Amino acid sequence: MAKENISADQLISVIISGIEDVKGKEINLLDLRDIENTVCDYFIICEGTSNTQVNAIVNSVQKKVSKELKDNPWHTEGVDNAEWVLIDYVNVVVHVFQKHVREFYDIESLWGDAKTTIIETSY
């Protein structure tokens, strides 16, 4: 479980850095705190170009969070087919998609009331 002394901002920063380290694309941060009955406070959504890159993103995020914050996900699912991998850090849930799966499920529209921040990448 998440350590209480890790702030959501710290966790978000390290997760995004982990995504950027392996060139994850189209990174969005959704702030769900003002929406009732949500399962977490934030979604971080990004995509990889293949199952290999999706797995690389997942591994990069987990290693970086573990190393820098000494935290591990509460739950991870979808690693087997690597089309949509969910990494659950309790208050922050990371969704790593392949593009076609992201377009199909369109999570950003489902959570249209969330405050969305598009993370600019330099690559």
Mean pLDDT value of segment 22-42: 95
Domain ranges of the chain: 8-113
- pLDDT at res. 48: 97
- pLDDT at res. 8: 94
Amino acid letter for position 29: L
pLDDT tens digit sequence for 72-82:
999 999 999 99
- pLDDT at res. 89: 97
Q: Is the dihedral of CA 77, 98, 102, 59 positive or negative?
A: positive
CB neighbour burial string for 53-64, b if at least 16 within 10 angstroms, e if fewer: bbbbbbebbbeb
Mean pLDDT value of segment 51-71: 97
What is the strand order of the sheet 115-118 is part of?
A: 75-77, 84-88, 92-98, 42-48, 25-31, 115-118
Mean pLDDT value of segment 87-99: 97
The CATH code for residues 8-113 is 3.30.460.10
Averaged pLDDT of the chain: 94
Residue linked to tokens 């978000």: 12
- pLDDT at res. 6: 83
Q: pTM of whole model > 0.85?
A: yes
Taking the C-alpha atoms of residue 59 and residue 65, their distance in angstroms, rounded to an integer, is: 10
